[in-house]
Structure 1
Amino acid sequence: MARTLGPGQRLPSIRAFAAAMRVSPATVVEAYDRLAAEGVIRARRGSGFYVADTALPPLALAAGEPRRPRAVDPFWVSRQSLDADAATLTPGCGWLPADWMPQDALRRAVRALARSDGAVLTDYSAARGSAALRRVLQARLASLGIDTSSEQILLTSSGTQAIDLICRMLLRPGDAVLVDDPCYFNFLALLRAHQARIVGVPMTPAGPDIARFEAVLAAERPRLYITNSGLHNPTGATLSLQTAHRLLNAAAAHDMIVIEDDIYGDFEPEPSPRLAALDGLARVILIGSFSKTLSASVRSGYIAAQPDWIEPLIDLQIATGFGGPGQFAAETLAQVLTGGSYRKHIEELRSRLARARPRVAARLQRLGITPWLMPRGGFHLWCRLPEGCTAIEVARSAMEHDVVLAPGDVFSAAQSAAAMMRFNVAHCDDQRVMAALERALK
């Protein structure tokens, strides 16, 4: 056989290569999986393995990306929020304060697990993850009208890892991916790492601008669409049933797959339409995690999808991380979720946030900062700054006073949100936040 292969050429089959090299097929499988994880080769379902068309690894940030000011770089916002010390205020971050989380319930779960079988404390999890947590998720999805089996659920280390695995499975460099504009900024960062061609569609209070959505699908033929359904990040918008039906019809007509991120679903006072429920997980892949409602320290995400997609995702997760969350993390979450304390915790969060949103909105409005809409739930307010102010300059000024903000263009693929800013109402009660904003707006 030839000693070299060029981009796009097919590799020998696993059995043929094993025979030629006089090794076991399992050795070849492991080698191919590692090459696929590194982006050197690509798997095509039912066809085999092929040399990747690009020499760039799929998770290197795309070469040639224009350098953005650090104040509108999603990594800047994430790093400033993650690295903040006790003296730094973070109204631009995407999580709740520690004292808003169910710490007592988590401590009880940890104490119970400390007395359990030692395997929970030391062993890897099963390939799909904890059976107990997957059964809990199955019941939760059923309450949203999503009929699935626990075998169709894969636990991951986080919601971000869930999207990363799906992108590894479905995307090739240069593929078009549709996102809302604005959208969660780490969607943009992750897609750039996969060298996708990002296409934005404007967001409305009822979901994506559906006429524009249909036009973009016809013109760009995107491979994926990534969105939040329950409560949109950053806008707080809620998908309407009419928009959901038209969206799914357009996706089917153009053979596009939808990734539906349901991470904020528990913050809704009443469930809104879920694309996965309307579609029956035919071309919608549902993901989520409990980092926003339970703990960002005890992390676990999940993927719910059709069985034919779960199997290759399991292989990818093993190849890239040797499995998802450990048993300890998954069993901790399962214990908290099955106890009555979680329901009470969520009810308290909804009530507390329902009081915080209008209170913070009123304070912002006194500074001339206007909410785009008042969300039904959650902790985000997507706001317009006063005329003549740019979010980048406001964020830079606030940072000088140890206040981390989230400028609008961080969330915008088209960089069309220079006058917008996302606020986390749970982190805005400290008067220093409003004082820093007032100084920055002058």
Structure 2
Amino acid sequence: MADIRARVDGRLLPPGARAPSIRDLAQRLGVSKSTVVEAYDRLVAEGVLAARPGSGFYVAKRVAPLALMGAALAGVDPPPDRAVDPLWLMRQALEPGEGVLKPGCGWLPGDWMPEQAIRRAFRALARAPAAALLEYDTPLGHPPLRRHLADRFASRGITAGAEQILLTDSGSQAIDLICRYLLEPGDAVLLDDPCYYNFKTVVAAHRARAVPVPYTPTGPDLTAFAQAAATHRPRLYITNAALHNPTGASLTAPVAHKLLTCAAAHDILIVEDDIFSDFEAEPTPRLAAFDGLERVIHIGSFSKTLSAAVRCGYVVARGDWIQGIADVKLATAFGNATTNPRVVHQLLTDGSYRRHMEGVRGRLAEAMGRTLRRLDALGLRPWTEPRGGMFLWAALPPGVSSVAVARQALEQGVVLAPGDVFSLTNSADGFLRFNVAQCDNPRIFEVLARALEA
């Protein structure tokens, strides 16, 4: 019952959707079919499901508050035994706690960031004209930063003028604005399986239908992508461009070309999240470069590479789409901040950011090697060895549940990222995502060893 409720409240099963068959759910959860029948009967009595004789069970035409996604958005404390879902991981990773280690989080340690350079940029901002500190910026955002970003994108083969770039408060806001602009409730959206967990929550928040596409070490499974496109007629496909979250894999050129051909044939728009681009030493293919921004919207931010506090993201798209997305931003957030974009612009143009990222890439490469060796000693194997970045998708020994391991580790002050948090089909319980930059403390692996044994 909890499994079905979580899917309904998280919009993975929207109103009117058919519930999993009794046989399928029994096999997946390892229970008898009679147990599933009784659970479905109780859910019907509660009004969660409706029975259709001869057809099966369907989600009732009721709409639970969006706040019920894991109960986390409702402003109440979640129960101790709440589902281990995306919002569970967000809460655990963001919650302060003395001595808590967070190899499951998605950001670099604070002491890896260019603190002194950021302080210098803020001191320079304090000397700027009053408008920089007191007034709204232009509808598209700080023009000097947009012009500089256009030059950066050109070096990666993405041709876009400053008028095709909209600044946002973050990468997450960029995705939210795009979904507000392009999606209607009930629209299908293709997502990688596994994928960045916030893609799942954003799609659910917009009451769209998330459709999984298996991800491979070279990109999405093209056969499955084509089948999903033909069956569900999706409006969008949202993916990471490179150093895929959580797997660390990167798209190859042949897969990129075939993917764009398939997307064009089925009139699918693609949102390419390139937030990890600066972690790459050697750039891999970008869909926006191949496509020329015809049906690809390119987004990113500096939250992962520069500062989670100095939040600044961007959307790069066709001019007509940018104006529409900018209108949505004006309607929902009114204007643009001036401070963060000015700080980011200074760090990009005074050499601080380039030097910082050169050091980060070297540290990440060393951390990846150390983490691989430590995990190998515990019997965990990498799904693929990433070309860079911070994430490592590791397979647990056969028969071990990542949720069970994560719960055990949390009791000992270590936050892990279980595989099913990233999976639409709940097919990744045998994996954990590790942030290698957060894995230097030996206690992490001592706790992990005890959790695996337990």
Indicate the TM-score class for this superposition, using the shorter chain for normalisation.
0.7 to 0.9
Helix, strand or coil at the partner of 1:234 = coil
Aligned to 2:275: 263
TM-score (norm. length: structure 1): 0.85
Aligned 1:24-173 pairs, distance under 5 A? 70=82, 72-173=84-185
- What amino acid does structure 1 have at the position aligned with 2:201? A
Given that 1:259 and 1:284 are in contact with CA atoms closer than 8 Å, whether structure 2 keeps it comes out as yes
**Post-superposition CA distance 1:277-312 (Å, at most 9, x none):** 100000000000000100110101100000111111
Aligned to 1:371: 382
Aligned to 2:412: 401
Does the alignment pair 1:419 with 2:435? Answer: no
Over aligned residue pairs, what C-alpha RMSD do you find? 1.9
- What amino acid does structure 1 have at the position aligned with 2:303? S
Return the offset for 1:122. 1.4
- What amino acid does structure 2 have at the position aligned with 1:391? S
Aligned to 1:312: 324
Does the alignment pair 1:436 with 2:447? Answer: yes
Given that 2:70 and 2:85 are in contact with CA atoms closer than 8 Å, whether structure 1 keeps it comes out as no
- What amino acid does structure 2 have at the position aligned with 1:352? R
**Post-superposition CA distance 1:191-223 (Å, at most 9, x none):** 111111111111111000111111211111111
Distance 1:210 1:149 in 2: 32
Distance 2:409 2:64 in 1: 37
Given that 1:156 and 1:323 are in contact with CA atoms closer than 8 Å, whether structure 2 keeps it comes out as no
Return the offset for 1:145. 0.5
Return the offset for 1:57. 10
Does the alignment pair 1:226 with 2:238? Answer: yes
Distance 1:57 1:315 in 2: 29
Q: Between Structure 1 and Structure 2, how many residues are aligned?
A: 386
Return the offset for 1:70. 3.6
* Residues 62 and 386 of structure 1: CA distance in aligned 2, closer, same or farther (over 3 Å): closer
Return the offset for 1:63. 11
Given that 1:71 and 1:396 are in contact with CA atoms closer than 8 Å, whether structure 2 keeps it comes out as no
Aligned to 1:280: 292
Aligned to 2:3: none
- What amino acid does structure 2 have at the position aligned with 1:322? F
Return the offset for 1:258. 0.1
The unaligned stretches of length 5 or more in structure 1 are 1-53
Distance 2:95 2:439 in 1: 18
Aligned to 1:296: 308
Aligned to 2:47: none
Does the alignment pair 1:391 with 2:405? Answer: no
Given that 2:301 and 2:314 are in contact with CA atoms closer than 8 Å, whether structure 1 keeps it comes out as yes
Helix, strand or coil at the partner of 2:213 = strand
**Post-superposition CA distance 1:377-396 (Å, at most 9, x none):** 00000001111210000000
Given that 1:71 and 1:77 are in contact with CA atoms closer than 8 Å, whether structure 2 keeps it comes out as no
Helix, strand or coil at the partner of 1:72 = coil
Does the alignment pair 1:237 with 2:249? Answer: yes
Distance 2:123 2:371 in 1: 37
- What amino acid does structure 2 have at the position aligned with 1:316? V
Return the offset for 1:72. 2.5
* Residues 330 and 63 of structure 1: CA distance in aligned 2, closer, same or farther (over 3 Å): closer
Aligned to 2:199: 187
Given that 1:62 and 1:194 are in contact with CA atoms closer than 8 Å, whether structure 2 keeps it comes out as no
Given that 2:396 and 2:430 are in contact with CA atoms closer than 8 Å, whether structure 1 keeps it comes out as yes
Distance 1:72 1:244 in 2: 33
**Post-superposition CA distance 1:230-275 (Å, at most 9, x none):** 2100001010000000000000000000000000011011111100
Distance 2:444 2:92 in 1: 16
Distance 2:171 2:247 in 1: 19
Given that 2:70 and 2:82 are in contact with CA atoms closer than 8 Å, whether structure 1 keeps it comes out as no
* Residues 63 and 94 of structure 1: CA distance in aligned 2, closer, same or farther (over 3 Å): closer
**Post-superposition CA distance 1:315-358 (Å, at most 9, x none):** 1101111124x111110000001111211111111111111101
Distance 1:71 1:358 in 2: 33
Aligned to 2:266: 254
TM-score (norm. length: structure 2): 0.82
Given that 2:70 and 2:83 are in contact with CA atoms closer than 8 Å, whether structure 1 keeps it comes out as no
The unaligned stretches of length 5 or more in structure 2 are 1-60, 72-77
Return the offset for 1:84. 2.8
Distance 2:96 2:397 in 1: 27
* Residues 59 and 323 of structure 1: CA distance in aligned 2, closer, same or farther (over 3 Å): farther
Distance 1:164 1:342 in 2: 27
Aligned to 1:348: 359
